[in-house]
Structure formats: C-alpha cells, structure tokens
Amino acid sequence: MSLHDQHIAMLVLLLIGLCIGLASGFPVAFVLGGVALLFAGLGVLLGNFDPAFLTALPNRMFDTLTSQTLLAVPLFVFMGVMLERSKLAEALLTSMAGLFGQRRGGLVVSVIVVGGILAASTGIVGATVVTMGLIALPVMLRAGYDPKLATGAIAASGTLGQIIPPSIVLVLLGDQLGNAYQRVQLAQGNFAPDTVSVGDLFAGALLPGLGLVALYLAYALFVAWRHPEKAPALPGTARPSLAALARDMFPALGLVVLVLGSILGGVATPTEAAAVGAVGATVFAALRGQLSLARFHEVARETAKVSAMVFAILFGAALFSLVFRGYGGDDLVHELLTGLPGGKTSAVLAVMLLMFLLGFILDFIEIVFIVVPIVAPVLFHLGVDPVWLGVMMAVNLQTSFLTPPFGFALFYLRGVAPAAIPTTAIYRGVVPFIGLQLLMLALLWLFPGLATWLPDRLYG
C-alpha cells in the first residue's frame, strides 16, 4: 500500500474514532485531543506520520491565549450571564408583554422583539431560550395561545443570539476565518494581506439578523390575522407607564448602543467594546439593586466555566487539525471540494450541508474550531468572499440549532416547558421558523450584498 493510500486509511479511521468518541458523551475537548494523540502515536509507530507536525502546538496555544480577539469571549459571556442572573432580561420581557399584550398576537410579538434585543445585548442562546421559556410561555398558554406558535416563537427568537451581533459565534468565526484568509493570501504571494475582523462580521450579520426578526414578526402577525384563536389578545393587562418601560428597556438597549454602536462606529474594537459591555451590565445590575457579592461570584463562576470550555475545545481542535494535516487531510479536502462539478457553487453548498448536519450533534463552538479551519482555506482559494461566507455559516448554524430532532434550542425549551406540552408540538412549532431561516439563507445566496454592503460602507 502506497503512503498516500495509508494516509487516506488513517484519515478515515481518525474520523471514525472521532465520531465514536463524540457519541460516547466524553467531554469534546478531551475527545479531540485524545483521538488525535492516539492516531499520531499510531502513525509514528507505523512510519506514516511525521511527529514534527506536533511541534507547532505550543505556538498555537500561546497565540490563542494571547489573542486580543478571543479575549472578547469571556467578556461577552460575562455580560450575557450578568443580564440574565440579575433579572434585567426578565424585567424587559414583562414590560414588553404589558405593552403589546392587549392586542391580538401581542404576546408573540413581545417575545420576538425581546429575543432580538436580548440577542443584541447578550449573544447567548441558551440563556435567552430558558429565560423566555420560564417567563413568557406560561403566560401565553394561559392566554389561550396555540402551543405550537408559542414554543416555535420562543425557540426561534432565542436562536437570534447566533446571528445578531455581538454574537459569540461571530467572534469565534471572525477569529478562525481571519486567520485562514491571511494564510491563503500569504500562500498566494500577497505579503500585505487584507484582513477580516470580527467587526466586519458584526457589520455583515446585522442586516440579515434584523431581516430575520422582521420575517418572524411578519409570520406572527399573519397567523394572528388569519387564525385569531391561535394568538388572542390578553384583556386586562396593565400597560406599563412610560417611566417603567424606559427603566426596563434602558439597560438592554443601553448595552446595544455601548457595545454594537462603538464597534460599528469604529470607536472601539470588539474586545474593547466587550469590556465596556461587561462593566455596563454590572453597573446596570447594581443600579437596579440586583447585584450582590454572592450573585457576582455566581456570574464569575459561570463565566469561568463557559470560557474554560471554549478554550479547552480550541486547544483540542488545534491538536486534531495538526494531526489531520499531518496525514494530508487538508490536501484531500481541497481535492474533494475543487473536484466537485459546479466549482465554487458546489463547494459552498457541500460545506453548508456538512455544517448543517454537524449542527445536530455538535455545539457551534466545536463546529467552528474543527470544520472552519479545514474548509475555509479551500473556499477562499476558490474566490469566496470571507464576510459573506461567515454570515452564511452563522445563519446555517442557527438553522441547525432549531431543526428537530437534535436542535439544541429545542432541548433548552423542552427542559423548561410544562410537561403538558408534547415534544411533537415543539417540533411542529419550529417548522415555519426553520422555513423563514432557510428563506434568509436563500436571500443571502441570491443577494450577497445583504452581508457585504454594510461592511463596505463602514470600513471600505
């Protein structure tokens, strides 16, 4: 057997080993690193793997730990957890329900609007779905809302945190795509390469994110118009005073202005804006009397847990990618994608389908760190725009998070929904919203300017 055939066989076994490890339920970071080391050692013994590939790992880990871009991750996580644990998100949802509840379809409109605001101020999917599931779902069910419409709107609105900046997905995608784009340009002889920043992705994702909110609202209002029994008004609801509404909306909207406005305005980098957001969330919680030392410790512990998970997965993925490249995996992927009939179009479709299917079994962090470094360089060689690609990937991952039977947002909602609501009702409820997200993907495909126009206007 030739060395090329041995490499292909080892790559197949490597991927099978990864799938078995992930299916075992063992922590993903250790599965990635452990499987990679196992096959690297086996390859050294068989003489078909060069251990010199592993010498790059310390430098990669050091670059990760000193990355100014990735420093935004724990800061954005802190901001989101602080908003959720300090009940500021709950107050916002309650006020919006009082504002719109007296109108037909008003509660579902409130859920979608609050989902968009929380997405723009926290970027954390699980916290948004759980918060709205605990607060809004019981009210909607008591008001006589159709369970499918109620659960579908809550799950779909919660996933807006994947696409509306400041999104953790976009931060991680920006880091990985930016590195890959620079490597491709250097390999092509461009020693003054263009850069792709997290700010570019934030700007690129803003219009598609707001477009999804508009599509959700249009669907909800259409259902309320055609089937008023599915989205009745809530009579007797006390409308909040203007002062109460401003008090409850100011923290979330203030953070949107501070964080997103400073990034898009070029005043601050995403990392600097994340630091402002973390401090701002803490100040707002203190001003509302919702901050204590115990709660601060709770937020800090949760932030440390999530951040440690992200970076552990990143280290494991870095080791896995080195072993994958050591067996010629990047060359094989390049051959497969460039050899597809249809060229660039087929290659992008194949990558989108792969990421959509992986979204059933892997978290977005794992997909970004495992798949993107492997496929992005190939797509960039084919001339794919990096900002458009990043936004397409983010919307795609958002769709897979919502798709039965394995969508993570469905698991979050199932965990807090009343037992009287069957799981099938939740699954059926999200189907129209999945259709709307696929529509947004189609619009991005047909009109790439939805993702590239704003970054071009802001950053040239």
pLDDT tens digits, one per residue of 264-278: 887 888 888 888 888
pLDDT per position as a tens digit, 60-97: 888 888 888 788 888 888 887 887 788 777 777 777 77
Give percent above pLDDT 90 in the chain: 17
pLDDT at position 22, please?
A: 74
Q: What is the pTM of this model?
A: 0.82
Under the banding of pLDDT at 50, 70 and 90, the label for residue 237 is low
Tell me the percentage of the chain whose pLDDT exceeds 70: 96
Nearest to 92 by CA among 251, 292, 241: 251
Residue 236 has pLDDT above 70, yes or no: no
Q: How far apart are CA 305 and CA 5, in angstroms?
A: 42
- Check residues 117 and 405 and name the one with the higher pLDDT: 117
Q: Please give the pLDDT value at position 307.
A: 84
At 145, phi and psi to the nearest 5? -65, 145
Can you spell out the DSSP letters for 383-411?
Answer: T--HHHHHHHHHHHHHHHHHSTTT-HHHH
Closest CA to 106 of 153, 51, 63: 153
CA 18 to chain centre: 23
Q: Is the pLDDT of residue 256 over 70?
A: yes
Between CA 411 and CA 66 the distance in angstroms is 34
Q: What is the mean pLDDT of residues 207-235?
A: 89
CA end-to-end span of the chain: 52
Please write the tens of the pLDDT for every residue from 424-443. Answer: 888 899 999 999 999 999 99
pLDDT, tens digit, 9 for 90 and up, residues 279-307:
988 998 888 878 888 899 998 998 888 88
Q: pLDDT per residue over 312-345, tens digit each?
A: 888 888 888 888 888 888 778 878 887 788 778 8
How many other CB atoms sit within 10 Å of the CB of residue 411? 15
